[in-house]
Amino acid sequence: MTATTGTATPVRTTADVVERVREAVARATPLRIVGRGGWLDAGHPVRAAHVLALDGLTGIVDYTPGDLTLTARAGTPLAEIARATMAERQWLALDPFGSPHGTLGATVATASAGPLAHAFGTPRDNVLGLEAVTGDARVIRGGGRVVKNVAGFDLTRLLTGSWGTLGVITEVTVRLRALPEVEESWAIATPDDPPTLDALLARLRTASVAPLAAELLNPALAARLALGDRPVLLLRLGANAESVRAQREQVAMLGDARPAPSEVWSALRECEPPGAAVLRCSALPSRLPETWALACRSTHAVPDALLHASVGRGIVRCIIPPGALTLGDAIRALRAFDGTVIAERLPAEHWFPSKSDPVRDRLARDVARAFDPHRVLNPGILELAP
Amino acid sequence: MNRDALVAALREIVGARGVLTRPSELLAYSADGLPTYRKVPPLAVFPGSREELIRVVRLLAAEHHPFVPRGAGTGLSAGALAEGDAVVIGLNRLTQILSIDPVNRLAVVEPGAVNLTLTRAATPYGLHYAPDPSSQSACTIGGNVAENSGGPHCLKYGVTLNHVVAITAILASGELVTLGNAAGESEGYDLLGAFIGSEGCFGIAVDVTVRLTPNPEAVRTMLADFTSIEAGARATSAIIASGIVPAALEMMDGPTIRAVEASIYAAGYPADADAVLLIELDGLAAGLDADVRLVERLCRDAGARDVRIARDEAERARLWQGRKKAFGAMGRVAPDLVVQDAVIPRTRLPDVLRTIHAIAERWGIQVCNVFHAGDGNLHPNIGFDSRNADEADRVHHAMREIMRACVEAGGTITGEHGVGLDKLEYMPLIFSPDSLDAQCRLRTVFDPERRANPGKVVPVHACREWTMAPAARASRVEVA
Ligand SMILES: Cc1cc2nc3c(=O)[nH]c(=O)nc-3n(C[C@H](O)[C@H](O)[C@H](O)COP(=O)(O)OP(=O)(O)OC[C@H]3O[C@@H](n4cnc5c(N)ncnc54)[C@H](O)[C@@H]3O)c2cc1C
């Protein structure tokens, strides 16, 4: 069964979600949980009768700028949070790939992170608490609204990245940061043969720079972002004026550095064409040149494959435009990598199982059973073996 | 298996001296850092290697016997106490730092490795382990993981959760499992995140892979002194709101300052001040002094009498020593000390501190506040004499009121010390029966027989499942 559009009235409150989950249990009609639909084609195909759309569950519930914390309903778009916090010169330092109209709830449910994870971590590092409705229609809360909290077992971390399978996230509290006084971005032309890249990254690690983001782009992606037609290392600096000035001098010593417009980051976030296949390869950061070389090799035959790497985190992301005839070959080649290969979005027929470990798999299955005993929440999306 | 047989089987694994059985020997394991709870465990076993640890846990699994892991016993929530017939598994012989990878800034350590030892081992590479509980010269990485410990520098650098990338754990069933991934991204549920802070109830960390942090290029340590606690609180709120993230922002109130200054840890704090802020800024050298100037101005605007900047490493170390030894100094003043650990939104600091003061006055007790002000993580400490029943009773009442006030201000009941036994009664203040029940369910996934550190963290009687089951209701109060 594939998902059909919801027929019920739109969801506006947590109580509405409880109602919908109760109904799903009673009628044995599993739900496909959707924020604004940006992730609809991601993940394993979901076997669900109904869509539970959360785009009506919106709004900032609490924002105290002096606390640098914000609580919003799950369907609130990141762009709305950005607008509200910008007015106080603050931001939620999460920039997951995709449109800024993606929702807070989906970002947390999928644990999606973008280039800023280099300095600020991923959702697990930025979420302070959440509310969710479990598969047996109970409202649970983890964490709270304060920045430090070890009360009880950590339901917040458990639900972050659970892809909706343990609970429908209805509300999230996040940690905010002050916007840097000054920001600027630099693109350094980068020969990407492994030894040269390795040397450059080693210099970056020891230089007096503390970038907010550091992404390596392949020529196709650099061209798409109007940064020339060679591989580039894109750095985002942000601090007080004096610090940024000093860091800029350091960046200039790393190589042929040119200023890049600040919009380059949103362009990078939104660069993937609709329907693209996306895979991520990761290993120790010291192996990045090797991981990069493998990703380049594997996608060599794909016209217009877009590649970028979070160099500090050792992750290479490969975007393969839709319709590439060689997609199957590219996936096979990438999967031969001895690091971790994660599929972000793939056409259904190309899905592959993630690495398994008997004990961890059993824990995962038992967690899913404990929180969604009737399997009504996004069944199949994580492809847990029965 | 009866007790003698169990002792014999354990000795078979760890050797005769690795098992303690006599009450006199076990006395040292009857409490942790919180002296108000005491219980002599029936047995304590000290594996000398990873293999021995695994065999011990598997033996207890075969016997369906409960156990409680124990690191250095510096915990402040009575988490390492043995309830019922639980065997203490002491991890303090497993102290090795197994590897350091300076390029990827990772270290793999055994659970009994002492926090500060790890930082010392990383020093030659210009690295350190960022979470720095004030107990860091004694507490273990395993204990830090179990409590998700923080420390003064966690304001900027994050707590244990943000610095652990993988753990090999042995579950109560005796199965080994790797949670997280040290060499790349992790897939599936964040079971690593769930394990961190699980207070020994989800299993035992056998090895821990942590992130190491480069030492900052430059550091500035400042001491601002105030004639009222409120002014110090206002300065804290102003600094946080300014967007500068100090590496640390700690407050000590008048009674704490005077206890420290009267002790061998005298740090040169102004003894007539009613509050001092110890503020540290670090990072790249360029631009740091601009932040220092701004922080100084914010302190003065809030009413600071003086803002002193440490001139050298010796002065910096001295300022910190006073803070890190403050508990010890207070311990000298009264025979017993209860240490609390609540968190409030940072904008509420001035009014909550005022409330705490009023509560203390009402109950006729002396509260010392020494805490991680930048995080809003309060540590109201009360010195008293437990032999004086009336005083002990007043202390208990005051503590309950303080906790309630923190929760009402939008806060939580523990920021870093964990729930253990001590905070069980407060859990229903912040979690609904359904939320507590969800925590019980999670615990059951990791430990279906509930043998790992039984009796801690979640009060089972408060969970929905329990309240709904009449049979269970009839029995005595039970805990997860
Ligand atoms: C003076 C003083 C200052 C302190 N300052 C701070 C501070 O600034 N910040 C802070 O966060 N805490 C602080 N603490 C509290 C305490 O030091 C921490 O909670 C510390 O992490 C406990 O470590 P430990 O090795 O002593 O653990 P223990 O007390 O031995 O055990 C604590 C808990 O961890 C479990 N455990 C231990 N090892 C393992 C393992 N390998 N696997 C699974 N579970 C395990 C135990 O069962 C128990 O539940 C302070 C304590 C004192 C006495």
Cα torsion A39, A42, A44, A46: sign: positive
pLDDT of A39 reads: 60
Place of tokens 């001098």: A249
The residue among A346 and A282 whose pLDDT is bigger is: A282
The nearest alpha carbon in chain B to A64 belongs to B347
Interchain CB contact of A283 with B (< 8 Å)? yes
What tens digit of pLDDT does each residue of B191-204 get? 999 999 999 999 99
Contacts of A356 (CB under 8 A, 6+ apart): A385
What fold is seen in the domain B218-328? Alpha-Beta Plaits (3.30.70)
Does the pLDDT at position B470 exceed 50? no
The partner residue sitting opposite B189, judged by closest CB among A89, A177, A364, is A364
Q: Is residue A310 scored above 90 in pLDDT?
A: yes
Pocket test for ligand 1, best of B76, B83, B155 (most atoms within 8 A of CB): B76
Distances (CA, A) of B342 to A281, B22, B159, B379, B399: 41, 37, 16, 7, 11
pLDDT band per the 50, 70, 90 thresholds, residue B475: very low
**Nearest Cβ partner of A314 from B184, B217, B237?**
B184
Domain limits, chain A: 1-179, 182-268, 272-350
Residues paired with residue B90 on neighbouring β-strands, in sequence order: B70
State whether A242 and B287 contact (CB < 8 Å): yes
A142–chain B Cβ distance below 8 A for any pair: yes
Looking at chain A, which residue has its C-alpha nearest residue B184?
A: A283
The CATH topology of domain A1-179 is: 3.30.465
Q: Could you give the percent of chain A with pLDDT greater than 90?
A: 84
Report whether residue B77 contacts ligand 1, using a CB cutoff of 6 Å: no
Name chain B contacts of A147, Cβ cutoff 8 Å. 343, 346, 375-376
- Interface contact flag, B285 A140, Cβ < 8 Å: no
CA distance B76 to B341: 9
Mean pLDDT of B237-251: 92
Confidence of residue A356 (pLDDT cuts 50, 70, 90): confident
- Tens digit of pLDDT for each residue in B214-224? 999 999 999 99
Whose CA is closest to atom 28 on ligand 1? B73
> How far is the C-alpha of A172 from the C-alpha of A341, rounded, in Å?
29
Domains A182-268 and A272-350 share a fold: yes
**Ligand 1 atom showing the smallest separation from residue B415 Cα:** 11
- Ligand 1 centroid distance, CA of B142 (Å): 8
Interface touch B375/A147, C-beta < 8 Å: yes
**How much is the pLDDT for B462?**
63
Q: Hey, is the C-beta of A83 within 8 angstroms of any chain B C-beta?
A: no
- Third-level CATH fold of B97-214: 3.30.465
Q: Is B284 on the interface with A (CB under 8 A)?
A: yes
| Residue B467 pLDDT greater than 70, yes or no | no
**Is the C-beta atom of B71 inside 6 A of ligand 1?**
yes
Best mutation site among B187, B281, B416 for testing chain A: the one with the most A CBs within 10 Å? B187
Structural Rg of chain A based on CA atoms: 21
Cα–ligand 1 centroid distance for B35 (angstroms): 14
pLDDT in tens, A136-172: 999 999 999 999 999 999 999 999 999 999 999 999 9
Q: Which of A64, A110, A153 would best serve as a mutation to test chain B binding (most B beta carbons within 10 A)? A: A153
Cβ contact, residue pair A149, B343, below 8 Å: yes
> How does pLDDT run across A60-74, given as a tens digit for each residue?
999 999 999 999 999
CATH code of the region A182-268: 3.30.70.2190
| CA A8 to mean position of chain CA atoms | 30
Ligand 1 mean position, distance from CA B204 (Å): 14
Whose CA is closest to atom 18 on ligand 1?
B75
Higher pLDDT, B379 or A4: B379
CATH fold of the domain at B3-90: 3.30.43
For residue B221, give the 3-state DSSP assignment: strand
Domains B3-90 and B97-214 share a fold: no
Class of the CATH-defined domain B334-408: alpha beta
Rg (CA), chain B: 23
Domain A272-350 fold is: Alpha-Beta Plaits (3.30.70)
Structure tokens at B245: 């993230």
| Mean pLDDT score, B90-95 | 98
| Average pLDDT value for chain A | 93
Touching A: B residues 358-377, CB under 8 Å: 372, 375-377
Cα–Cα distance, A310 to B232 (Å, whole number): 41
Q: Please state whether A373 falls in left (phi above 0), alpha (psi between -120 and 50) or beta.
A: alpha
Per-residue pLDDT at A47: 80
> What separation in Å is there between the alpha carbon of B110 and the centre of ligand 1?
15
Ligand 1 site, residue B331, Cβ cutoff 6 A: no
Q: What is the pLDDT of residue B48?
A: 98
**pLDDT value, residue A380:** 86
Mean pLDDT, residues A240-249 taken together: 97
B244 reaches A (C-beta below 8 A):
yes
ipTM score for this prediction:
0.96
Pocket probe for ligand 1: among B32, B53, B147, the residue whose CB has the most ligand atoms within 8 Å is B147
Indicate the domain borders of chain B.
3-90, 97-214, 218-328, 334-408, 429-473
This prediction has a pTM of 0.96
Query: Is A153–B291 a contact, with Cβ atoms under 8 angstroms apart?
Result: no
A208–B159 C-beta distance less than 8 A: no
Secondary structure (3-state) at B297:
helix
DSSP-derived secondary structure letter, B372: B
Residues of B in contact with A340 (CB under 8 A): 181, 183-187
List the single range of A348-352, B411-415, B430-434 with lowest mean pLDDT. Answer: A348-352
Residue B72 Cβ inside 6 Å of ligand 1? The answer reads yes
Q: What share of chain B is helix, strand, coil (3-state, %, to 5)?
A: 40, 20, 40
**B427-464 burial, b for 16+ CB within 10 Å, e for fewer?**
bebbbbbbbbbbbbbbbebbbeebbbbbbbbbbbbbbb
